[in-house]
Amino acid sequence: MAPDQNQPAVPLDQRSRLLRRRVVDMLKAGGRGHLAPAFSLIEIMRVLYDDILRYDAKNPQWKQRDRCILSKGHGCMAWYVLLAEKGFFPAEELRKFCKDDGLLGGHPEVLIPGVEASTGSLGHGFSIGSGFALNAKYEKRNYRTFVIVGDGEINEGSTWEAALFCAKHQLQNLCLIIDYNKHQSYASTAEVLPLEPLADKFRSFGFGVAEVDGHDVQALQKTFSSLPHTPNKPTAVICHTIKGKGIRFTENNLQWHHKSKLSDAQFDQLYQGIESYPA
């Protein structure tokens, strides 16, 4: 079931605050970036890399690794801070975000260790992940594929073509994670193209479906630890999130979808907003 939207917001522990501070550090260093889309992803990426994914940061092409694709590539700052923390590349690269001499651009590219697919043109990552999952099934390998998509992204028809494909091939080794923050770049998803009933749509396409508060670390750990949700079916995990989660004035505020040329005073407000968020 979806979380009760009338309940108080999930608080932030020290780890979630730290990861958000590092995202703001990247925004300051690079001079631009998609802040709010990254903030809605942080707990999802945190749980995947802390508790769920099988990987070897020193050997990113290890054949038995789980595959992780961030199809909503514009949320990449949340991913980069985890990849750096886990040792896929030096943390110094975060300070060169969007710089000519740096590794990390505004959308993920396969030249970055730990990145399985270049994304940013929305609607592509799910199809790529479907291919990875099918390959694992036919080569009898036990790695899993996780694909994170945005809710606005799944307006793309390629999403539903991939869903049909996954169901046909009974890809129980694939988990589609929907960052369902209810907002797109310029309006709410309800205004642009309504998605409800979203869970029923995925069920009708042959998926096992779970719904979870996408900022509740324990709930995410429990959900991702019990895959597949339904035997012989791919899983869709609908993560109910808040765009810009973690700073009161960025939450559900479309002006913070992407920012550039912020002043020092504005950065001070961002850092203060993270520290003052309920614990």
**Residue 6 covered by a domain:** no
Q: Is residue 5 part of a domain?
A: no
| Gyration radius of the chain over CA positions | 18
Q: Which stretches in the chain have pLDDT values below 70? A: 1-8
Structural domain contains residue 226:
yes
pLDDT at 246: 97
**CA of 212: how far to CAs of 39, 41, 150, 237, 252, in Å?**
17, 13, 15, 7, 19
In this prediction, residue 1 carries a pLDDT of 45
CATH number of the domain encompassing residue 227: 3.40.50.970
pTM for the model = 0.96
182 in a domain, yes or no?
yes
Reported as a single tens digit per residue, the pLDDT across 223-248 is: 999 999 999 999 999 999 999 999 99
7 domain-assigned: no
Question: Which residues form the domain of 233?
Answer: 14-275
Domain assignment present for residue 94? The answer is: yes
What's the domain count of the chain? 1
The answer to whether position 4 is within a domain reads no
How confident is the model at residue 25, as a pLDDT? 98
Structure tokens at 279: 């614990």
Kindly state whether residue 121 falls inside one of the protein's structural domains.
yes
